[in-house]
Amino acid sequence: MAASKRTQILATLFAAYDKAGNDKQLAAYSMALKDIPEELLMRACHKVMLEKVFLPAIAEIVQACRSLMGSVDDAKRERTWAEAWKEILGQVRKCGIYDKPVWSTPEIAAAVKAYGYTDLCGLNRDELQTASAQCRRFYEDACGKKNEQSVNDFVLKRITGAEMIGLMPGQTNIISLEARRKAL
């Protein structure tokens, strides 16, 4: 029963892009996305149908799932560089070299560590643009490593597809996350 609903969701996606007769590709998508909860898969497919001109790759559907999870639970959302840089500058101003800064994500912490927190604290105004560009590279590398590790863990069966896109172990329903967010 579960496979047929998943197949219906993906068949709708394929029909939207005039690929309805491509059974082999549909089977490949279904197999690759089998661990993603159906409710989340349905919403992700709806999202990509609204955003993509051509049939999205499996990776784009997984990215849509991650994006939806980030919309529901802010702690799971990957920060944009502008948000990360704002947080870094805020912590430098607030803590300086005497207090210990608190970072919202491990990727921001990794970028700051790679650049050097005390170096960030000692920047002059005219050095901020260069420091931002260098930190951005460190941040993007850290985000890339996190995403790659997540996919590797999934492929090696260390985590499920649901965990890869941001659901906690045993959590299969995006609606329960939405209810939890509203309660906060």
For residue 60, what pLDDT band results from cuts at 50, 70 and 90? very high
- 61 and 16 Cβ atoms separated by less than 8 Å: no
Is residue 152 a part of any domain in this protein?
no
Among candidates 139, 143, 123, which has minimal Cα distance to 131? 123
- 175 and 169 Cβ atoms separated by less than 8 Å: no
Q: Are residues 89 and 30 in the same domain?
A: no
Report the chain's terminal Cα–Cα distance, integer Å: 34
pTM reported for the whole predicted model: 0.68
For 35, the token pair is 């661990």
Q: What is the pLDDT of residues 96-155, one digit of tens each?
A: 999 999 999 999 999 999 999 999 999 999 999 999 999 999 999 999 999 888 878 777
- 48 and 56 Cβ atoms separated by less than 8 Å: yes
d(CA 5, CA 39): 10
Q: Are residues 73 and 35 in the same domain?
A: yes
Residue 20: domain span: 2-77
Is residue 137 a part of any domain in this protein?
yes
For 80, the token pair is 């944009």
- 3 and 29 Cβ atoms separated by less than 8 Å: no
Query: Considering only 63-77, 78-92, 117-131, 140-154, which range has the smallest mean pLDDT?
Result: 63-77
Q: Are residues 88 and 70 in the same domain?
A: no
Q: Are residues 73 and 85 in the same domain?
A: no
In the chain, % helix, strand, coil (3-state, to 5) comes to 70, 0, 30
Q: Are residues 71 and 129 in the same domain?
A: no
114, 130, 146 - which closes a domain: 146
Distances (CA, A) of 72 to 60, 75, 80, 105, 181: 18, 9, 16, 17, 7
Cβ neighbours for 182, distance < 8 A, ≥ 6 positions apart: none
